[in-house]
Chains A and B, each alone.
Chain A
Amino acid sequence: MSSTNDIDNKIKDIFDGIVTPNIGSHNLNTQLDAAAESYYEQPKSPAHVYYSFIDTSSQESFAKYIESFWNEEGTPQFAAKANELSALAFELSKDHESQSEELSPFVYTMY
């Protein structure tokens, strides 16, 4: 299992790989527009707003999922680190597997 520093280095690497190069390229709707009649938008990500599946069956399949997700979203540039992101997800998931405890199968709750 990796140390916190290792994990943080990997996260920084992903940040540098997918966020830093795209700084300024992605616009959030923060501009107020007095002339606009409406701020409503058409539903974003129609492939996902109803329901969908995430393939985490293997590291490879999740990397493919990440790639196709961002391609479908029209922002393939964010998939540059799909393999690394998938690997990190699998690594992080292990941190949350709690150790099984010795049970006391013959001691019952009684109150």
Chain B
Amino acid sequence: MAHRYILGISAYYHDSAAAIIMDGEIIAAAQEERFSRVKHDPRFPVNAINYCLEEAFIEASDIDAVVFYDHPFLTFDRITKNCAFAGESSYPVFNSAIKSMMGIKIWVEKHVCKTIGSAGKLGKIIFAGHHMSHAASSYYPSPYNNAAILSLDGVGEWSTTTIAKGDGNKIELLQEINYPNSLGLLYSAFTYYCGFKVNSGEYKLMGLAPYGNPTYVKEIYDHLIDVKDDGSYRLNMEYFGYLDTGKTTSAKFHELFGGDPRQPESAITRKEMDLAASIQVVTEEIVIKIARHAQKLTGSENLCLSGGVALNCVANGKLLKENIFKNIWIQPAAGDAGGALGACYVAEYMHFGGTKKTGDNKNDFQMGSYLGPKFSEQEIEAYLDRNRYPYHKMEYTEKNKTLAREMDNGKIVGFFAGRMEFGPRSLGGRSIIGDPRNPGMQSKMNLKIKYRESFRPFAPAVLREDVNKYFDLDTDSPYMLLVAPVQHSIRKPVEPLAGASVDDMIPVINQIRSDLPSITHVDFSARIQTVHTETNKAFYDLLAEFKAQTGCSVVINTSFNVRGEPIVCSPKDAYLCFMRTDIDVLALENYLLFKEEQPNFDDKENWQTKYELD
């Protein structure tokens, strides 16, 4: 029987990506930035599409349908009506939108044909609704046969928040909140105001929140947003600029919070910490209310989450604790990149009427999100040999023993194994790892590897069976999308800091809070990845070996990149990152490279200015 292949594309906003499914099963998915090496690359994902066809190993003409994750004319409708609402002054917004929508986005078919030579058997592009793509990306790969589906993001066409119900093959959209009211844009307004980049710096704001006190919660509720008991909300647009100026915040917003936005890279003060804590609290409260409402509407005990807001793992952790739903599944590529995957499902189940696989409420169909390229040992060896980089080819178990020993000795390892992850998190496919028991590790990794602000905590990767030993969590969290407290049993008493400035985070950061100081955040929380042998044997076996040598089944797991750089994809990317940082050992599958054995690295590229900061 012939297979049905569907190619999904998300592009032109941020984090463009492509995905391909065969008869409803994921074959591949990847973000364009990993190939182009341009962080959050919004361009048409020529490389990601090429990779998807490579993984499926099919001709473009064998694709049954190509689906775009968004409806550009519906977005143009929204912008046109936005301008009619905002008045003559919105002409610049219209001018820019018309060029983008009419000049680029509606021409997906043309770009597809130019890139791969065919628009597939259907011969025309399917345009999936933006939020339907998000909803599909979280429901169809989930382990559930029915679910409430929440999609929360900045804006897609008109919608900003949608509640849908998944039942068997079908998704029914039930209720929504529309532009300009947006929880995502509210969070982004604070991201911008606190000096981080909108659409990518939100996770920094989330990381900053535990250092602050939620002192601005009342101001936010009193002035910025009106929230009903069912979680529905409207924003007070006087405080936002995006209706007519294209700017996120208005002068009134700045006035409310006592001045101009923080300049990027300037010192972070108590004010930013408290703002971050405040908007975090508001976000969590709203998400929980919406979830309660969605549960009532659908009657389901399962929840599927997607959209950029679903990457707020702190809110996700709180939501889990509320026990509104028995089960929660979050699409790991919850942002726009995941829309490419969702778009595939829209075509498969809504257009072609495919049959969804029956879920068991436990094991999802996302394959650990290891959906990107893998490099064979032959490819790695050819690369190393061609460049004459010294390496040690090891047996699998010997490699794990060596890496575990190196980590125990305080070394930092660049770990490159198997397929690259789809989504913003490194999950042991392309990760930098180290010993979380080492008190200096957080600072070393931040300053000498990531070259970034040191307030941001690192995430632990832990053997699934041991998660409850270290953390107050006893559920799967394979995608690092849940935050939970470290167990009291491993916490250490923290003395109040005497004489430290309220603006100075460093003494706070440096306090030892647990037996695993490098992954314990200031509020004793941790962003947890549970590691499963079924989805990543290589990473699991390494952790098991680390446990065997040290008694500790946790490692620090941070993304394999430097600040502002996309996560590495190829052996070459990994080698460059290895040589540009203080990573001590690079493991390319079973090939180990030690820093002290490498030749002098003549880095012609000024990478420290190449990568734009979030």
Contact = CB atoms under 8 A, between A and B. Distances in A.
Interface in A1-48: 7-8, 11-12, 14-15, 18-20, 22-34, 36-46, 48
Contacts of B257: none
A24 B83 CA distance: 10
Contacts of B237: 30
Interface residues of A, number: 58
Contact of A11 (B87, B94, B132, B157): B94
Contacts of B308: none
Given A69-B73, A96-B103, A28 B236 contact: no
B527 interface: no
A85 B101 CA distance: 11
A36 B227 CA distance: 10
Contacts of A31: 234
Nearest to B240: A30
B73 A39 contact: no
A32 B236 contact: yes
Interface residues of B, number: 68
A50 interface: yes
Contact of B178 (A29, A85, A110): A29
Contact of B85 (A26, A40, A45, A50): A26
B126 A53 contact: yes
A47 to B, nearest CB: 9
A69 B77 contact: yes
Interface in B517-532: none
Contacts of B127: 48, 51-54
Contacts of A39: 177, 181, 226, 228, 232-234
A65 B124 CA distance: 15
A111 interface: yes
A28 B386 CA distance: 61
A51 B347 contact: yes
Given A40-B232, A92-B99, A54 B177 contact: no
A71 interface: no
A40 B175 contact: yes
Given A15-B94, A18-B80, A38 B132 contact: no
B600 interface: no
Nearest to B90: A19
A51 B99 contact: no
B91 interface: yes
B132 A50 contact: yes
Contacts of A40: 163, 175-177, 230, 232, 293
Contact of B80 (A38, A62, A78, A88): A78
B321 interface: no
B175 A41 contact: yes
B159 A49 contact: yes
Interface string B275-287: 0000000000000
B13 interface: no
B341 to A, nearest CB: 15
Contacts of A36: 228
B131 interface: yes
B378 interface: no
> Which of A23, A40, A52, A62 gathers the greatest number of chain B CB atoms within 10 Å?
A40
B181 A20 contact: no
A93 interface: yes
Interface stretch (B104-112, B330-338, B560-568): B104-112
A48 B80 CA distance: 17
Contact of A49 (B87, B131, B232, B233): B131
Given A18-B80, A41-B178, A89 B102 contact: yes
> Which of A26, A28, A31, A78 gathers the greatest number of chain B CB atoms within 10 Å?
A28
B135 to A, nearest CB: 10
Contact of A51 (B126, B178, B293): B126
Contacts of A66: 73
A66 B110 CA distance: 19
Nearest to A66: B73
A44 B107 contact: no
A56 interface: yes
B103 A93 contact: yes
A111 B410 CA distance: 34
B19 interface: no
A58 interface: no
B88 interface: yes
Contact of B387 (A30, A45, A92, A111): A111
Nearest to B77: A73
A78 B82 CA distance: 12
A45 B77 CA distance: 11
A30 B82 CA distance: 11
B228 A26 contact: no
Contacts of A7: 99
> Which of A12, A38, A70, A110 gathers the greatest number of chain B CB atoms within 10 Å?
A38
Given A45-B74, A51-B346, A28 B232 contact: no
B400 to A, nearest CB: 30
A88 B95 CA distance: 12
B71 interface: yes
Contacts of A85: 98, 102
Contact of B73 (A30, A50, A54): A54
Interface of B: 67, 71-74, 77, 80-85, 87-88, 90-91, 94-95, 98-99, 102-104, 106-107, 109-110, 124-129, 131-132, 157-159, 162-163, 173-181, 226, 228-230, 232-237, 243, 293, 346-347, 350-351, 383, 386-387
Given A40-B232, A48-B74, 11 more contacts: A18-B84, A24-B84, A26-B81, A40-B175, A45-B77, A45-B158, A48-B129, A49-B173, A92-B98, A92-B103, A95-B103
